[in-house]
Amino acid sequence: MKRWKPLLSGLLAGMMLFTLTACGQQSQTSEQNQQTDAALSEEAEATGLVQTVAGQVQGTNQNGIFRYLGVPYAQAAERFVPAEKVKPWEGIFEADTYGAISPQGSISGVDGNSDQTGTDNNCQNLNIWTPGAGDGEKRPVMVWLHGGGFSTGSGNEEGYDGENLSRSGDVVVVAVNHRLNVFGHLDLSAYGEKYQYSANVGITDIVDALEWIQDNIEAFGGDPDNVTIFGQSGGGAKVLALMTSPNAKGLFDKGIVQSGATETMGVSFNTQDSSTRLTENILDILGISSENIEELQTVSADELQAAATQALQKTGEELQIPASLGDAYSMDWEPVIDGNFLPTNPVTEDSFASAGADIPLLIGSNLNEWTGFFPADPIEVTDELSNALQTAYPDKDGLTAEQVDTLIRLPMLKIMSHKADQNGAPVYSYVFTYGNSHHGAEIPYVFDRVDGSKEESNLAGQISQAWINFAKTGTPSAQGLPEWEAYTRESGSTMLLDIKSELVRHHDRELISLLAPDYVY
């Protein structure tokens, strides 16, 4: 539980409480306000005490980086409706412990984390790491959106600690908690105006966080006019959703998608029809109808999650929706294309979502991704396939076709190609190929949290710096990396991130055509 303490006493408190008592005191008041601002800036620089729109927040100093944990950016008074603004508080908010996270759900019909300790529908909080609070600097802001599809995970995970990234890049790092699964995406729009945005409140939460950043991040040493959103897996799909929503336009300037899409989650999202049918199945399991719809506000989280898991499987089978992972049918929690908050899918028939036209995009995936997690049918080895493997990845001795990911690589190609077709802001492509490059293997390198060999540490320095420079300038770059050219269909320019990184062009075009001959991107 968060701790609060009284306002500082003495001169600072007196300055904070000073008010006008007569017109003749206006000049004195102006001078007093300047002294107050100066005192607050000095206090922030020295102790990490920051003034936000809602009240004062106290951070802690970790090895020269201030961190603020569990800072509320909005508050959800009810389930399935957009959150409200944070009510101002008196005293000082002690941001020294992580806040609540969303109740955890299931992915592709598979039960998720059954431990719901520390979860709450009112989980709208964020974590901040900054090299300087109240110092007047305007640093690039990097907003991390966690993975776990749209069903599990949180911004509180140890691997997402932003201290090293903040220090090495002189940037402000923010990790966002928001509603997930049934709490974030249950489509009740057919049951009254109150629930108009219920299918997407998990994303409206993130929009609220970005609005909070616009209003407050300058006090933490950040630049509200230079905000980059980045995320891995489901977090990358959240970046794509935000690039698609007009409601998020103007709240961020660049996007980074790390292994952030499958064909049915990221390239596209749930349809209104499938989302409506999923809700009908959930209500049927719970014995709730339009007449008593408000009972959803008090159904226990466990009962709601159990009904959701059952209905996701049932609806997926009914509508024959391929699961995002594996070969079965199952529906997943994700945003809904409602024609309003999300007017289109991220990938349109001949382009990319119009709201994202002016947003530079850095996007890529890992060579192996999920290939070691699921049984794979053997692929017949031919001379043509062996030559294509050798051409694409000549330094990967022993690499087999079964180890080359297509589940995520193919959607990445489709997204980046359609984004390039838009002829708007540039798109930059990568494939992370170092070691066992499984799903999520690049995250420690992005956050510069690798505890390994000198070569691995150097690679972490390069990758994190490339991400940082993209946040700063819109172009990824780092000492030791080749010049990173923008991707187009004609160039196929892609950075292979490895101990010795290399810029290649259409390196795996032949390989992809052999592994997925019918795929069109």
3-state secondary structure of 366: strand
Distance from C-alpha of 467 to C-alpha of 444, rounded to nearest angstrom? 13
Catalytic residue among 439, 442, 464, 507: 439
Containing H/E element for 254?
strand 254-258
Q: Which helix (H) or strand (E) holds 174?
A: strand 172-176
H/E stretch holding 45 reads helix 26-47
Spell out the residues 6+ positions from residue 389 whose beta carbon is closer than 8 angstroms to its own. 399, 400, 401, 404, 511
Q: H-helix or E-strand containing 237?
A: helix 234-244
Of 504, 498, 430, 433, give the one whose Cα is nearest residue 462: 498
Which tokens is 474 given?
């819109």
Instruction: Please say if 507 is a catalytic residue.
Output: no
Instruction: Exactly one of 154, 233, 429, 493 is catalytic; name it.
Output: 233
Which residues have a Cβ under 8 Å from the Cβ of 264 and sit 6 or more positions away? 321, 322, 324, 332
Which of the residues 218, 334, 369, 442 is marked catalytic?
Answer: 369
Identify whether the C-beta of residue 326 lies closer than 8 Å to the C-beta of residue 370: no
Is 502 assigned a catalytic role?
no
What are 281's two structure tokens? 């199945």
Residue 88 is given by DSSP the state P
Helix (H) or strand (E) holding 71: strand 65-72
146 is catalytic: no
Q: Strand pairing partners for 174?
A: 128, 143
Residues 6 or more apart whose CB falls under 8 angstroms from that of 111 comprise 309
CA distance 441 to 444: 7
Active site (catalytic) residues: 233, 369, 439
